[in-house]
Amino acid sequence: MPPLTAETEARIVLLFAPEDRAAVQRILLEECGNNLPFLGKADSIAMDRVRLAVLKLSGGDREKLRAVIQLAKTDWRDVLVAAGAAN
């Protein structure tokens, strides 16, 4: 899995409480990476778009983060559209 970028790490700090950050990092690494459809060869920079979109849509809620990642597993482009990051 591609590691998290500094931008993704900074967004985690902004959105989540300190006690949730390690879990959020793990969720992103394990569930929101090269295992998403058609992103098997994506690097960290390419994954940033999707990861930042799921973080934005989560609103700092871990359960919502998991739900948004489930949507990304079906079609991550829907997540980009919902987050206003389609272009």
Query: Looking at the 3D structure of the chain, how many domains does it have?
Result: 1
Residue pLDDT, tens place only, 37-57: 999 999 999 899 999 999 999
Q: Let me know if residue 87 belongs to a domain.
A: no
Q: Let me know if residue 24 belongs to a domain.
A: yes
Instruction: Please give the structure tokens belonging to residue 77.
Output: 């482009």
Q: Which residues contact 17 (CB under 8 A, 6 or more apart)?
A: 60
Q: Locate tokens 């090269």: which residue? A: 34
CA 27 to chain centroid, in Å, comes to 8
Residue pLDDT, tens place only, 8-32: 999 999 999 999 999 999 999 999 9
**Other Cβ atoms within 10 Å of 84 Cβ, number:** 10
Helix H or strand E encompassing 52:
helix 44-58
Domain housing 51 = 6-82
